[in-house]
Amino acid sequence: MKKRVAILGSTGSIGTQTLNVIDGQSDKFEVEVLSAYNSSERLIKQAIKYVPNVVVIGNPKHYAEVRDALDPLDIKVYSGEDAINQIMEMDTIDIVMIGIIGIKAIKPILAALENKKRIALANKESIVVAGELITKSVMDNVGQLIPVDSEHSAIFQCLMGESDNAIEKIVLTASGGPFHNMDSDYLSRATVKEALAHPNWDMGNKVSIDSATLMNKGLEAIEAHWFFNVPAENIEVLIHPESIVHSLVYFTDGSIKTQMSYPDMRIPIQFALSYPRRYKATFPELDLLKTGSLNFLSPDVKKFRNLALAFKALKEGGNMPCILNAANDVAVQAFLENKINLQQIPDIVEESMTLMPHIKKPVLSDYFETDTLTKQKALELIK
């Protein structure tokens, strides 16, 4: 039987690539739910093409438009963020792709776990901010949380069949973004256009800027801690400009395992949907004879301070990763709007981490309150 997929954030980068994967594996997967927050026109076009059982438009002001457009197709249309949580109760959903951004993904993730759904997780903010809460829910509900980030998918694949073997360390690889060869003075003059020009990956604006500052890799280190139960001191980052090796796992016997492929998000997306099986890809497979040399460099944490700040937040724990993430969200948006330069992003993050109260044992409401208050503080610092 075909696996039925709910795609939360279907109009974004991850959502559209998930649909591309389903197009290539239409005999194995079908679309059960599509959701978006504001992109009503694109959501309508997707729904007309895939005819899912349910469509959810997060922003209620677009509800009538979506409902009326899809009424002839007999598609159920709901609106509001609570509706996204409620559809996790549907027994016709086999897999939930979390492609929405921000911490608003936390509640749907918890609802999906409580309803025994397999989650393909492409939202890093949720596990960065509430990793302890989410991993506890995985254990309590015997749930499946499959990483979609290329680095974590690589680690996940390397650890298959290794449950009884101790991990020495995990190494996350980073392309280094567009500025890894530039000095700090250049970074302070970098334009938005330059920062968005990622050399290898096709990503949204926010992730592209995080890659340029290496915050993306810092957030992924926090993710790795929660996904794989590895302490901060056993997680490292290496710059790998070619983006072919998608992370490495070191074992205590001196062996190293890695997963390699072209930098194409459809590969980890397809694996998250097909796990534990592998299906024939409809996109290019890696040709080692054409890749040339593979290079690895240590990151400069003095130049890319966000990476060091992320490890600091991980070690301090509690709501500190939430503070880090919220302040970075505001600072990145300010950079995109040309209100600050690229090198001021870690300034805003660091000062927010210093000024905001540290809660060692936060509950769910603490994360949302911390997010709101930190964003307010970061905006004050920018003004």
Instruction: Return the percent helix, strand and coil in the chain, to nearest 5.
Output: 50, 15, 30
What angle, 0 to 180 degrees and rounded to 10, lies between the N-to-C axes of helices 266-274 and 150-158?
50
* Residue located via tokens 């072209």: 262
- Is the CB of residue 283 less than 8 Å from the CB of residue 265? no
Peptide bond into 284 cis (omega under 30): no
Position 104 scores a pLDDT of 93
Fold of 317-383: Rna Polymerase Sigma Factor; Chain: A (1.10.1740)
* Residue located via tokens 């974590």: 152
H runs (alpha helix) in 58-196: 63-70, 81-86, 106-114, 124-140, 150-158, 184-189, 192-196
In this predicted structure, the answer to whether residue 202 has a pLDDT above a threshold of 80 is no
Fold of 3-147: Rossmann fold (3.40.50)
In this predicted structure, the answer to whether residue 367 has a pLDDT above a threshold of 90 is yes
Position 201 scores a pLDDT of 67
Mean pLDDT (the chain, rounded): 95
How far, in Å, CA of 123 to CA of 101, rounded?
Answer: 6
Position 212 scores a pLDDT of 93
SS3 of residue 254 by DSSP:
coil
- Is the CB of residue 173 less than 8 Å from the CB of residue 248? yes
In this predicted structure, the answer to whether residue 8 has a pLDDT above a threshold of 90 is yes
Q: Which helix (H) or strand (E) holds 334?
A: helix 320-336
In this predicted structure, the answer to whether residue 46 has a pLDDT above a threshold of 80 is yes
On whether the pTM is more than 0.85, the answer is yes
- Is the CB of residue 227 less than 8 Å from the CB of residue 316? no
Antiparallel, parallel or unpaired: β 118-121 and 144-147: parallel
Share of the chain above pLDDT 70, in %: 99
How far, in Å, CA of 36 to CA of 149, rounded?
Answer: 20
Which sign does the torsion angle of CA 197, 148, 25, 205 carry?
negative
Using the CB atoms, write b or e for 338-361: b if 16+ within 10 Å: eebebbbbbbbbbebbeebeebee
- Is the CB of residue 142 less than 8 Å from the CB of residue 158? no
**Could you state, in order of their start, the residue ranges of all structural domains in the chain?**
3-147, 150-185+192-262+285-314, 317-383
